[in-house]
Chain A
Amino acid sequence: MHLSSDQVILWQSGFVKLNLTIVTTWALMLLLAGGSAFITRRLSTSITISRWQSVLEIIVTMARQQIGEVGLEKPEKYLPYIATLFLFIATSNLCTIIPGYEPPTGSLSTTAALALSVFIAVPLFGIAGSGLKGYLKSYIDPTPIMLPFNIIGDFTRTMALAVRLFGNMMSGDMILVILLTISPLIFPVLMSILGLLTGMVQAYIFSILATVYIAAATRTREK
């Protein structure tokens, strides 16, 4: 039993290693991008729209509403990034229903990459929103003594994002494997249902936390 799908190496030449995590991520990217391109081939603004288009509209509208409720005034600027985070993590966690599938978010490399992208995106959005000086001034909010704590807090919350998602997905996988060896099939099925629920909750948590961090970085102008 391997700890994560990083250790299953499918192909290797020299120092370039293609492990299961990368291949699964590519398959997910193909699914998301190809599915969206297929659905949005013929967008229509009339009253009757196809089912798949309404699915996409529901997702986009709900994401926009959630981002607006966190406190960002123009959700459209942040919608592509946040919704992509949510869709990737949600799809990766939902596909655990397919037998033999190991979620790429169950490996620390994927979750660390996602958390690093949030770590880079927060200053980018902050500087785009309030300018360089406004963003740097948010670090000495409310008093300059808080400066080291704010900087350390930036790093630890990035790490917390990565480990939270990794721990939740890996634990779901591992409990399933361990239970399958010692109990009849009904208990692993129940744990698998719980795993689906926590997967969706963790996807939502990741995107909402990313939104909150971006909102905290861009809120300095209004105060």
Chain B
Amino acid sequence: MDTLTIIAIASIVTAGLTIGIGAIGPALGEGRAVSSALTSLAQQPDAASSITRTLFVGLAMIESIAIYCFVISIILIFANPFWNHAISQAGGR
């Protein structure tokens, strides 16, 4: 297999694995965060605005981990520097 094929295979497999495995952790974490927010909302409904605001801030922080994995995946698929370099080398030769 030449270099181009190896780069393509590695990029595709890594892109899929990155977002697949990278979405497990944040999903579990967000589930726990929402569940404890619901519990505390049921116990103290008049603190609802503060709890909701803290919940959203916490969810955004957890979500950013999944966003990092997504950005890596997108870069591997659409803006892959190794692929572009190899293509320019193959085209120049």
Residues on A with C-beta less than 8 A from B78 are 1, 3
Kindly state whether residue A116 has any CB partner on chain B within 8 Å.
Answer: no
Kindly state whether residue B74 has any CB partner on chain A within 8 Å.
Answer: yes
Assess the A164–B64 pair: CB atoms within 8 A: yes
- Residues 163-218 of A contacting B (Cβ, < 8 Å): 163-164, 166-168, 170-171, 174, 201-202, 204-205, 208-209
From A3, A69, A163, A202, give the contact of B60 (CB < 8 A).
A202
Assess the B60–A171 pair: CB atoms within 8 A: no
Chain A residues with a Cβ closer than 8 Å to the other chain, count: 18
Q: Per DSSP, are chain A's interface residues mostly helix, strand or loop, or mixed?
A: helix
What are 17 contact pairs spanning A and B, CB under 8 A? A1-B78, A69-B50, A160-B64, A164-B60, A164-B64, A166-B71, A167-B67, A167-B70, A168-B63, A170-B71, A170-B74, A171-B67, A171-B74, A205-B56, A205-B57, A205-B60, A209-B57
Q: 7 closest pairs, A vs B, by CB?
A: A167-B67, A205-B60, A164-B64, A167-B71, A3-B79, A3-B78, A171-B70
19 further contact pairs, Cβ within 8 A, besides A3-B74, A164-B63: A1-B78, A163-B67, A163-B68, A164-B64, A164-B67, A166-B71, A167-B64, A167-B68, A168-B63, A171-B67, A171-B70, A174-B74, A201-B56, A201-B60, A202-B60, A205-B56, A205-B60, A208-B57, A209-B57
